[in-house]
A and B are shown apart, each in its own frame.
Chain A
Amino acid sequence: GAGVSQTPSNKVTEKGKYVELRCDPISGHTALYWYRQSLGQGPEFLIYFQGTGAADDSGLPNDRFFAVRPEGSVSTLKIQRTERGDSAVYLCASSLRGTFTDTQYFGPGTRLTVL
């Protein structure tokens, strides 16, 4: 079946602009995660959704970052007033139930470059 998809695959923007990154999880997966991977680093947790609600947003770096999942499926990560330090690969993952042992299935990521 279809895996996790993310669009766009690449996004180049200018400092100060607003961007939206989209994630389509595996159908039927209730849990959705966003991670950020900077160059040479492992992914870092940003936010976790269980259904439509953000159950844990403790990884969002500041209030310029916001994410939604209005119908419990597709999620959008929104970044306002982008900064050069926001440049990274943004990864989305989904799992069936969101338990500690569930396998998380990752999308290919969106590479964000802020000039």
Chain B
Amino acid sequence: AQSVTQLGSHVSVSEGALVLLRCNYSSSVPPYLFWYVQYPNQGLQLLLKYTSAATLVKGINGFEAEFKKSETSFHLTKPSAHMSDAAEYFCAVSVNAGGTSYGKLTFGQGTILTVHP
């Protein structure tokens, strides 16, 4: 079975600083990887996804993530944090393991990002 680990339940950065949110996955088959953001009282919104094309994936709001198979990682980065980036971020994995588990997402526990002025 696949799993996702997000290192750091809380990350705090200053406005303008680099944002780095860590995600490691475990899967016996090639994974598809996703980052979602959740603002208070809103639904999860897709930031970006890796679908076995380019390993460096660019998403919305200036975020990007790099798939590193050797490290089983898919860390999320943004060069310069903005106050509006404050939210909770979830990494998720989907695998083609046969059967009927089409697109079922397995999520990490989430990382709350705080941005200080």
Contacts and interface: CB of A to CB of B under 8 A. Distances in A.
Interface residues of B, number: 29
Given A42-B108, A101-B49, A108 B42 contact: yes
A43 B109 contact: no
B46 A41 contact: no
Main secondary structure of the interface of B (DSSP, over half): loop
Interface in B31-82: 32, 36, 41-46, 49, 51
Contact of B103 (A4, A48, A59): A48
B115 interface: no
Interface in B72-117: 90, 92, 94-96, 99-110
Contact of A103 (B46, B95, B104, B109): B46
A74 to B, nearest CB: 17
Contacts, number: 81
B47 to A, nearest CB: 11
A11 to B, nearest CB: 15
B2 to A, nearest CB: 11
Contacts of A106: 36, 43-45
Interface residues of A, number: 32
A101 B51 contact: yes
Given A100-B95, A106-B43, A41 B103 contact: no
Interface of B: 4, 9, 32, 36, 41-46, 49, 51, 90, 92, 94-96, 99-110
